[in-house]
Copies of this chain bind each other. A is one copy, B any other.
Amino acid sequence: MVTLAEVARRANVTGATVSNVLRNPQKVKPETVERVMAAIRELGYRPNLTARALARGRTSTLALLLSNIANPFYPEFVLAAEREARKRGYFLLVCNTDDDPAITRAYLEQIAGSLASGVIVMNTDLGEGELAGIASKGVAVVLCMWEHVQASRALPCVTTDFAAAGALAAAHLSGLGHRKFGVIFGGGSGGPQTIRLDGFAAALAAHGHSEKSLFIVRAHDSIESGYEAAAGLLRAKPAMTSIFATNDLMAIGAMQAAADLGKRVPDDLSVMGLTDIALAHQFRPALTTVRLPTADIAARSVALALEMVEGGTPAQDVYVVRAPELVVRESTAPAPSRQR
């Protein structure tokens, strides 16, 4: 391995100068810069990031804590996060917690303040208090996509307007003439997707629908769970003409349940999701959904974490990234006219 010292020797300067050439070239005489650069090139020198990290007291990696990368939402997020990190010269450590608080803690303890100088926490069963404890050890911690905005937030949070997303779904379904709304209400670790549901329900009320037109079932974020929930819903309320799932995976499961029960989507039943993961447009019928600005949130989270790492203090507690938007595809249609 070629070290700084070897480069220095070859360029007839000391390590300090080489270091300066690499970091503050303007502080070094152009001639010297040239000579050092030449030595670097000739020797094929690459700075050792570990040594640099130790000396500067700060690594060039960021950790991303998520429950399980096999959930198709995360890869989309990770892709965007990694690009932003790379653009800024940082690397991304992907940490699956499997929704296990013990794993989460282990990761946090090992990584925080030693391997990664910043951590983006996407959801977890850990309380904010515990996370704040980690943050107080000098790691930049940013919460991401948290649904439960609390009054006095200890940690900065990057998220989007989940209530507006729910409201968009409600407006669309209501506008199509639906009168009965099945809701598959999901959630994983990090808690239930309450805000999406509240936004949906509130918008429905604003459109003049009574609470009685809503039929809510609980599920968790997977196709299978959405399938079960929808099947139960459709059996219990065969007159249902629309289903809104607080998550695309569950919506896809709902479409499959409808098919298996002989209901055509969207002719007999409209189905909507929320998030707009890639699957939403890949499935047939393509899913009408509310798109969350996933990539923007990812980039913003990384950017915020890095600002904090590099000494900044977050200007706000909560960063709300761009509004969600309705994406109409094939799974929703006007409510079927009543049979007489």
Interface residues of A (CB under 8 A from B): 1, 46-51, 53-54, 59-61, 68-70, 72, 74-76, 78-79, 82-83, 86, 91-96, 103, 109-111, 113-115, 137-138, 223, 252, 256, 259, 278-279, 282-284
In the complex, residue of chain B having the shortest beta-carbon distance to the beta carbon of A46:
B109
- Give, as a whole number of angstroms, the nearest-CB distance from A122 to chain B: 14
In the docked arrangement, what's the CA distance between A269 and B82, Å? 41
Q: Is the CB of A82 within 8 A of B96?
A: yes
In the assembled complex, the Cα of A137 lies from the Cα of B2 at a distance in Å of: 10
For A103, list chain B residues within 8 Å (CB): 86
* Chain B residues near A138 (CB-CB < 8 A): 1
Complex CA distance for A96 and B94, rounded to whole angstroms:
12
Enumerate 14 A-B pairs (CB-CB under 8 Å) in ascending A order.
Answer: A1-B137, A46-B109, A46-B113, A46-B114, A48-B114, A49-B114, A50-B59, A61-B61, A69-B75, A70-B76, A78-B94, A82-B96, A94-B94, A252-B282
Residues of B within 8 A of A223 (CB): 282
Measured between beta carbons, the chain B residues less than 8 angstroms from A278 are 70
In the complex, A233→B279 CA distance in Å?
Answer: 25
Chain B residues whose C-beta falls within 8 Å of the C-beta of A259 in the assembled complex: 284
Known: A114-B48, A259-B284, A282-B223. A93 touches B91 (CB 8 A): yes
Residue numbers in B under 8 Å from A72 (CB-CB): 72, 75
A170 to chain B, nearest CB (A): 27
A132 CB → nearest B CB, Å: 15
Q: Within the complex, what minimum Cβ distance (angstroms) separates A231 from chain B?
A: 14
Closest 6 CB pairs of A and B: A48-B114, A49-B114, A94-B94, A49-B115, A69-B75, A75-B75
Which residues in B have their C-beta under 8 angstroms from that of A70?
Answer: 75-76, 79, 278
Closest to A109 in B: B46
**Chain B residues with CB under 8 A of A51:** 54, 114
B110 lies within 8 A of A82 (CB) = no
